[in-house]
Amino acid sequence: MNERKYIILILFHVIIGVLVYFIRPLSMMYAVCIPALGLYYVMKTQNRNNEVLLVAAYIVGSEVFLRMTDANLLYESSKYGVMIFLALGMYYSGFSKDSVPFWIYLLLLLPGVFVATETLNIRTDIRKAIAFNISGPVCLGIAAIYCFNRKILLSQLNNVLLSLGLPIFSTTVYLILYTPNLKEILTGTGSNNETSGGFGPNQVATLLGIGMFVFFSRLLLESKSKLMFAVNLIILFNITYRGLVTFSRGGMVTGFIMIIILLFYLFLKTKGHGRYNLFRLFIFLSVAFFMTWLYTSNQTGGLINKRYANQDAAGREKESQLTGREKIWDGEIDDFLENPIFGVGVAKALEIRTVETGGLTIASHSEISRTLAEHGAMGIIALLIVFFTPIFLFLDNKQNIYAFCFILFWLLTINHAAMRIAAPAFVYSLSLLKVFTAEEPSLHRE
Residue 311 phi/psi, 5° resolution? -120, 160
The reported pLDDT for the residue numbered 354 is 76
Share of the chain above pLDDT 90, in %: 64
The reported pLDDT for the residue numbered 214 is 97
Using an 8 Å Cβ cutoff, are 216 and 239 in contact? no
How crowded is residue 264: how many other Cβ atoms within 10 Å of its Cβ? 12
Using an 8 Å Cβ cutoff, are 69 and 25 in contact? no
Name residues whose C-beta falls within 8 Å of residue 319's C-beta, 6 or more positions apart in sequence. none
Dist CA 145 CA 136 (whole Å)? 14
Instruction: Kindly report, residue by residue over 310-347, the tens digit of the pLDDT.
Output: 887 777 777 655 556 778 888 889 989 999 999 999 98
Residue 152 phi/psi, 5° resolution? -155, 145
| Average pLDDT score over residue span 255-277 | 88
Predicted structure pTM score: 0.93
Dist CA 187 CA 306 (whole Å)? 12
Instruction: Kindly report, residue by residue over 138-181, the tens digit of the pLDDT.
Output: 999 999 999 999 999 999 999 999 999 999 999 999 999 998 77
Residue 191 has pLDDT above 70, yes or no: yes
